[in-house]
Structures are given as C-alpha cells and as structure tokens.
Amino acid sequence: MDVQLDCKHLKCPMPIVEMAKAVKGMKGGEMLRVESTDPAFEMDVKAWAEMTGHELVSFEPGEVKVARIRVA
C-alpha cells in the first residue's frame, strides 16, 4: 500500500521524524509520497534516504516540495 504524508508547515527535523514513523509500518517496495514546505527538505530527504537505504525515486522542488521514496 502506498502512503501519502503531509508535512507542509513542519520545520526541520519534523518531516524526517514523520517519514521515519511512516516507513516503520510499510513493507519493502511500497512508496511513500511526502509533501513539505521546509527549505531544508531536499537536502534532508536525500541524506535520510542514503543513511537508511530507502530509494529516493523522485524529488520535485517548489514552494511545496514533493519526495517519492521506495521503502527498502
């Protein structure tokens, strides 16, 4: 099951904290879609994916940034 997470208006490190909580209930191969307005989100989500082994499939910059992550 794919999961969508609304982290708009949450400041660092809360989007990453919420993502970590979400993936605990997910299975390998499932997709997590996260929306965030935090200016540091792009850098944070890339580092988090690398450290945890999850795959950052895509990232859309903008006022509302969107990351798609495949759970390991």
Q: Show the domain range for 14.
A: 3-70
Average pLDDT over residues 40-66: 98
Look up 12 and say whether it is catalytic: yes
Task: Given the residues 3, 12, 31, 56, select the one marked as catalytic.
Answer: 12
pLDDT grade for 4, boundaries at 50, 70 and 90: very high
Per residue in 20-45, pLDDT tens? 999 999 999 999 999 999 999 999 99
Cβ–Cβ < 8 Å for 32, 51: no
The distance from CA 52 to its chain's CA centroid, rounded to whole angstroms, is 12
CA-CA distance, 9 to 52, in Å (whole number)? 24
Helix (H, G, I), strand (E, B) or coil at 37: coil
- Report the CATH number that the domain containing residue 37 is assigned in CATH: 3.30.110.40
Average pLDDT for 60-69: 98
pLDDT value of position 3 = 96
Whole-model pTM: value is 0.94
Give dist(CA 50, CA 72) in Å, integer.
11
What is the model's pLDDT at position 70? Answer: 98
Integer CA distances (angstroms), 67 to 21, 26, 38, 39, in order: 16, 16, 12, 13
Q: How many domains is the chain built from?
A: 1
Q: Say what the pLDDT of residue 50 is.
A: 98
